[in-house]
């Protein structure tokens, strides 16, 4: 087993780290305190620099204008970008666009790729993904009310979705809707359909306030209504009834993206925590870091971050070699394990910062507000734990319901 990072990848990560510190970290104050539109000119300038350096859309194959990194390679880059709330956006690999580009790349027709994937890959537009519904549990994604009924050559889509990340300002949504209500398996009833946000009947109702902050643009979670929204049947992605299968394939690599971003957050929070412990004095000559409890938090955080990173990298390695379906258990393990490491590290960092930690003078409070949901979205902790336990117990001859 070789745990070293290849030299070419380490060099890339080091260069991106220096670029982040120089160009992106200084923009965080404005991101946390001003409307996103005020920040766009500066962010657009940074994005142009990223393109010039050949770092644009690192996960995409070169034929689509990306760097062509493997999932394992992108994991290391994603960790570095995760150190800032605007890192992934600057490199055009922010959620949900990254997942939508992957779906379009694998399932889009030539026309869909030209119309939707290429502008998305170039960073000219944004997108969103609409699956979760307010009246049904997100932990049971095959249970939904939104329908897409055929009429002539179109689908008429009716329903309501929420926590549609990035709906504010998106050019199109990929919508999960029931197209085959009578299919024998609930996993074959839904399809994924591209819906332009300017289509008649598509309405963004609101940006949902998360811990008191509604957000805007890509850093938002919208509630949308589809009221007899008409789109061509040619907007369907993949075969009819394949929506759940496509979603599962999307979520495997997507959880790698999330987990490595969370580890990047942990690393930045850890750096802030240690700097605060070394410099903040309880009394003259008595820094916080001299206290045994603070030292224990630092040691525990370091151990947990290291364990989380290697779990995620091993899972990415397995997906690269064998596919997401072969790594289902590992994907569930990292989802709940890393989400909880993130929660603990952020909590310790905020505690060490005291009152400063709950202000927006550092990114800690922003992450605490927005990443508490890490233990809920893409499958709640309890769902993943139950799935892992059932899979393990089956090898001992026990079948659970």
CA nearest to 195, candidates 223, 237, 150: 237
CATH match for 245-394 among 3.40.50.620, 1.10.3720.10, 1.20.140.10, 3.40.50.720: 1.20.140.10
Asked if residue 139 has pLDDT above 80, the reply is no
First to last CA, the chain: 38
pTM over 0.85: yes
Q: How many angstroms separate the CA atoms of 262 and 256, rounded?
A: 10
Which residues, in sequence order, are CB contacts of 332 under 8 Å at separation 6+? 379, 384, 385, 387, 388
Residue 227 backbone phi and psi in degrees, to 5: -110, 95
Q: What is the pLDDT of residues 174-210, one digit of tens each?
A: 999 999 999 999 999 999 999 999 999 999 999 999 9
- pLDDT given at position 399: 83
Query: In 177-216, which positions are buried (b, 16+ CB within 10 angstroms) versus exposed (e)?
Result: bbbbeeeeeebbbbbbbbbbbebeebebeebbebeebebe
Q: What is the pLDDT of residues 220-246, one digit of tens each?
A: 999 999 999 999 999 999 999 999 999
Query: What is the CATH number assigned to the segment(s) 127-237?
Result: 2.40.110.10
Q: What is the pLDDT of residues 15-50, one digit of tens each?
A: 999 999 999 999 999 999 999 999 999 999 999 999
Query: What is the CATH number assigned to the segment(s) 7-108?
Result: 1.10.540.10
Q: What is the pLDDT of residues 259-291, one digit of tens each?
A: 999 999 999 999 999 999 999 998 999 999 999
Burial (CB < 10 A; 0-12, 13-18, 19+), residue 136, is middle
| The two three-digit tokens of residue 192, written as one number | 């994924």
Q: How many angstroms separate the CA atoms of 389 and 167, rounded?
A: 35
pLDDT band at 401, cuts 50/70/90? low
Q: In this structure, are residues 166 and 126 in contact, taking their beta carbons and an 8 Å threshold? A: yes
Q: How many angstroms separate the CA atoms of 21 and 343, rounded?
A: 24
Q: How many angstroms separate the CA atoms of 244 and 249, rounded?
A: 9
Which residues, in sequence order, are CB contacts of 230 under 8 Å at separation 6+? 151, 154, 155, 156, 157, 199, 200, 201
Would you say the C-alpha torsion 280, 281, 287, 292 has a positive or negative sign? negative
Residue 237 CA, chain-centre distance (Å), reads 21
pLDDT band at 55, cuts 50/70/90? very high
Asked if residue 351 has pLDDT above 90, the reply is yes
- pLDDT given at position 138: 80
Which residues, in sequence order, are CB contacts of 333 under 8 Å at separation 6+? 311, 315, 384, 388
Q: Taking the domains of the chain in order of start, what are their residue ranges?
A: 7-108, 127-237, 245-394
Asked if residue 255 has pLDDT above 90, the reply is no
């Amino acid at each position: 087993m070789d745990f070293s990072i290849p030299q070419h990848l380490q060099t890339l990560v080091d260069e991106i780290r220096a670029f982040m510190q120089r160009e992106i970290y200084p923009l965080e104050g404005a991101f946390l305190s001003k409307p996103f539109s005020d920040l766009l000119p500066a962010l657009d300038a940074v994005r142009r620099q990223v393109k010039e350096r050949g770092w644009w859309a690192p996960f995409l194959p070169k034929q689509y204008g990306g760097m062509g990194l493997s999932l394992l390679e992108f994991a290391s880059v994603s960790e570095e970008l995760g150190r800032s709330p605007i890192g992934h956006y600057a490199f055009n690999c922010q959620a949900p666009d990254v997942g939508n580009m992957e779906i379009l790349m694998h399932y889009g027709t030539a026309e869909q790729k030209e119309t939707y994937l290429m502008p998305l890959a170039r960073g000219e537009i944004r997108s969103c993904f609409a699956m979760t519904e307010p009246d049904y549990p997100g932990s049971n994604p095959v249970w939904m009310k939104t329908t897409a009924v055929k009429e002539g050559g179109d689908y008429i889509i009716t329903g309501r979705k929420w926590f549609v990340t990035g709906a504010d300002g998106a050019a199109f949504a990929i919508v999960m809707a029931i197209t085959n209500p009578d299919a024998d398996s609930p996993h074959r009833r839904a399809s994924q359909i591209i819906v332009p946000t300017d289509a008649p009947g598509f309405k963004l109702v609101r940006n949902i306030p998360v811990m008191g902050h509604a957000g805007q643009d890509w850093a938002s979670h919208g509630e949308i209504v589809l009221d007899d929204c008409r789109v061509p049947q040619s907007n369907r992605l993949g075969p009819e009834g394949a929506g759940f299968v496509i979603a599962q394939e999307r979520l495997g690599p997507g959880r790698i993206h999330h987990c490595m971003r969370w580890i990047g957050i942990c690393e930045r929070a850890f750096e802030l925590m240690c700097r605060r412990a070394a410099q903040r004095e309880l009394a003259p000559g008595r820094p916080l870091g001299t206290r045994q409890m603070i030292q224990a938090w630092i040691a525990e955080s370091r151990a947990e971050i290291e364990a989380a990173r290697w779990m995620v990298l091993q899972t990415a390695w397995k997906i690269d070699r064998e596919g997401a379906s072969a790594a289902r258990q590992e994907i569930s393990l990292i989802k709940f394990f890393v989400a909880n490491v993130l929660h603990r590290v952020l909590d310790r960092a905020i505690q060490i910062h005291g009152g400063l930690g709950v202000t927006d003078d550092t990114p800690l409070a922003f992450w605490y507000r927005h990443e508490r949901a890490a233990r809920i979205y893409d499958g709640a902790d309890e769902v993943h734990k139950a799935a892992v336990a059932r899979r393990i117990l089956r090898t001992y001859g026990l079948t659970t319901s």
